[in-house]
Amino acid sequence: MPDTLPIVADPLVRFQEWMSEAWSHEPDDANAMTLATATPDGAPAARIVLLKGADARGFVFYTNLESRKGEELAANQRAALLFHWKPQGRQIRIEGRVERVTDAEADAYYASRPRISRLGAWASDQSRTLPERTELERRLATYEAKYPGEDIPRPPHWSGFRIVPERIEFWQNMPFRLHDRTVYTKTAAGGWAIGKLFP
């Protein structure tokens, strides 16, 4: 049976190693992650979003603040993330509190997006009922006319969230379902308590 994962003190180091290896095997959206949110009364919802930043502060993604996930995160500022890389037999589970990114961060990422994506952020009432596809196309054409060049301001309803991790689990597939699970839990002093879990 393969050896279990070596322990590293900083989970971000292990995360970056696994993410780098995932990109080498999954060049299309290795940064895709499941985002789980819940309403204040506990009704859950999950969807795939793309990780756009990861550092010691947390894990960042961007969205319409008026979308279902945006409204749920505003009302219940806790969330979970799940990365699953089947070719490597790996998962990473992240749980923590949620905070908004700064306006400067949101502006910088928004400016890096393709023009049509920036226009789409204006045209889409994300998560709301769309009577027919032509309505979206009409709205997109309206904003294309309004902003004919590359100077497209970030909509006030579009920004990013950072998941500040309190618990991170690294799951490695092992033969006979005797998987290796290493869990990092944030301590009151700001460090990480590290342990293993039964598979």
Catalytic residues: 177
The 10 Å Cβ neighbour count of residue 71 is 15
CA 168 to chain CA centroid, nearest Å: 14
| Residue from 39, 92, 115, 96 nearest 70 by CA | 39
Instruction: Report helix, strand or coil for 26.
Output: coil
Alpha carbons 115 and 111: distance in angstroms, whole number: 9
> Quick one: DSSP state of residue 88?
G
Extract the runs of DSSP E, i.e. beta strands, from 76-124.
78-85, 90-100
In 3-state terms the chain splits into helix, strand, coil percentages (rounded to 5) of: 30, 35, 35
Residues 136 and 116: beta-carbon distance below 8 Å: no
Residues 7 and 192: beta-carbon distance below 8 Å: no
The structure tokens listed for 12 are 């971000």
Length of the chain: 199
